[in-house]
């Protein structure tokens, strides 16, 4: 049976790019219903999208429809997936608060199919805490979101806010239309984010980890039917839907939690940027500076537990373990050593000095290495796509 995708276009400069997306979906013999806000029609004409989709483009809440008795209800009932792309800050706010004052927003409220939201806007607008709160509200309702890309925006500012590549949006749509339950009944534990080691009650040492890769893995595994435990250090990200989220602070705490759950897991993936060292003697009170600023502070550091190595020592034959090797030199050589020393089945190697790879980026460039020494080098792609590739290999190992 042919599936129907609703494409909701809102008033952003990236609206013109959606013509390519509609064309790609039609080539896959999908039925596409395009809906446009008044603002979207300022950037691209409904006629263009009508020609590409082969259907009337729905724009006006009050236009009588020959196909549906009540247009917005009829459209909503026909959809297998609703995509909002580009999604402006204004329309995200409307969705988060249930406003229904035009054709597209009424379809959103009436819709019961999965929703994919693809934000695109100025960097400052995207980072505005109100916008982020609205996004988190929708994520908690089960909406799927794609992170914007970074680069030079139409306003001339360089930063996060660009519409993701059409190919990436297309892949996400196909994945949501054909959900894969190949991990149903399996329990996967993933660690993510950074870890923090206290210096005193106020200060701590940490690293650049944000949790993006680990959270993407958790989201992918959950979407494929797994029972997911996400053990995360501090991160600005919200936990994906249908994931058990355990927040931790230090490397020792993360290790203890993971050892506690290890025996109940089928797969463990170590994606966290775990701090290698902690403070030997944490000050009980805040350390003060001197008036003449003559004080020199020396911190004695001791090694933290190597979490994956500790888990590897206790590994049962039916447990699959995956690690990451974030390196700055001799990447493959160092990754192979970690694969053996930590008793892993698969390791994901990446050079964090490369542009588009490593910490705090929306993309990654990785090489997958298994115990047989086989290498799979992936090109630069979104962390969601990297996560899907890693989970694919885990399934093969299982």
Segment holding 231, helix H or strand E: strand 227-232
d(Cα 159, Cα 199) in Å, to the nearest integer?
33
Give bridge partners of residue 346 from the DSSP assignment.
322, 370
Q: Are 19 and 9 in contact (CB under 8 A)?
A: no
d(Cα 96, Cα 142) in Å, to the nearest integer?
12
Q: Please tell me the number of Cα atoms within 13 Å of 262 on its side-chain side.
A: 22
Using CA of residue 379, residue 383, residue 386, residue 388, what is the dihedral sign? negative
Q: Are 368 and 378 in contact (CB under 8 A)?
A: yes
d(Cα 370, Cα 208) in Å, to the nearest integer?
27
d(Cα 296, Cα 281) in Å, to the nearest integer?
16
Q: Can you list the alpha helix ranges (DSSP code H) found in the chain?
A: 18-27, 46-53, 71-78, 89-96, 103-110, 123-127, 129-140, 166-177, 212-223, 251-261, 307-313, 331-341, 383-397
- What does DSSP say about strands 267-270 and 187-192: parallel, antiparallel, or unpaired? parallel
Q: Are 80 and 33 in contact (CB under 8 A)?
A: no
Q: 196 an active-site residue? A: no
Q: What is the largest CA-CA distance in the chain?
A: 82
CA distances from 364 to 27, 120, 361 (A): 29, 20, 7
List 155, 196, 255, 265, catalytic entry: 155
d(Cα 135, Cα 144) in Å, to the nearest integer?
10
Closest CA to 140 of 5, 229, 247, 243: 243
Give bridge partners of residue 381 from the DSSP assignment.
364
Report the chain's terminal Cα–Cα distance, integer Å.
Answer: 31
Catalytic residue list: 155
């Amino acid at each position: 049976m042919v599936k129907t995708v609703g494409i909701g276009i809102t008033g952003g400069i990236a609206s013109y790019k959606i013509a390519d997306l509609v064309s790609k979906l039609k080539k896959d013999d999908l039925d596409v219903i395009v809906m446009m806000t008044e603002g979207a029609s300022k950037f691209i004409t409904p006629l263009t999208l009508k020609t590409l989709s082969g259907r009337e483009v729905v724009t006006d809440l009050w236009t009588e429809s020959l196909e549906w008795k009540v247009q917005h209800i009829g459209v909503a009932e026909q959809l297998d997936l609703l995509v909002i792309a580009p999604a402006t800050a204004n329309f995200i706010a409307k969705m988060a608060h249930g406003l229904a004052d035009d054709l597209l927003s009424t379809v959103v409220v009436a819709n019961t199919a999965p929703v994919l939201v693809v934000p695109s806007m100025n960097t400052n607008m995207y980072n505005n805490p109100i916008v982020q709160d609205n996004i988190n509200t929708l994520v908690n309702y089960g909406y799927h979101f794609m992170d914007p890309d970074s680069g030079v925006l139409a306003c001339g500012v360089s930063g996060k806010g660009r519409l993701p590549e059409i190919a990436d949006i297309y892949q996400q749509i196909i994945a949501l239309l054909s959900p894969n339950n190949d991990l149903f009944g399996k329990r996967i534990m993933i660690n993510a984010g950074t870890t923090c080691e206290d210096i005193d009650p106020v200060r701590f040492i940490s690293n650049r980890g944000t949790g993006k890769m680990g959270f993407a893995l958790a989201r992918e595994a959950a979407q494929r039917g797994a029972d997911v435990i996400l053990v995360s250090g501090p991160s600005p990200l919200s936990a994906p839907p249908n994931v058990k989220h355990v927040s931790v602070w230090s490397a020792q705490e993360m290790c203890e939690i993971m050892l506690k759950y290890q025996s109940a897991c089928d797969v463990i993936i170590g994606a966290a940027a775990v701090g290698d060292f902690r403070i030997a003697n944490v000050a009980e009170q805040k350390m003060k500076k001197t008036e003449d600023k003559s004080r020199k502070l020396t911190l004695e550091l001791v090694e933290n537990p190597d979490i994956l190595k500790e888990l590897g020592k206790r590994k049962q034959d039916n447990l699959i373990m995956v690690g990451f090797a974030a390196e700055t030199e001799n990447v493959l050589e160092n990754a192979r050593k970690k694969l053996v020393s930590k008793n892993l089945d698969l390791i994901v190697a990446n050079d964090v000095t490369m542009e588009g790879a490593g910490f705090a980026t929306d993309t990654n460039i990785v090489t997958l290495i298994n115990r047989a020494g086989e290498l799979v080098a992936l090109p630069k792609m979104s962390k969601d796509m990297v996560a899907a590739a890693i989970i694919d290999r885990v399934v093969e190992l299982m």
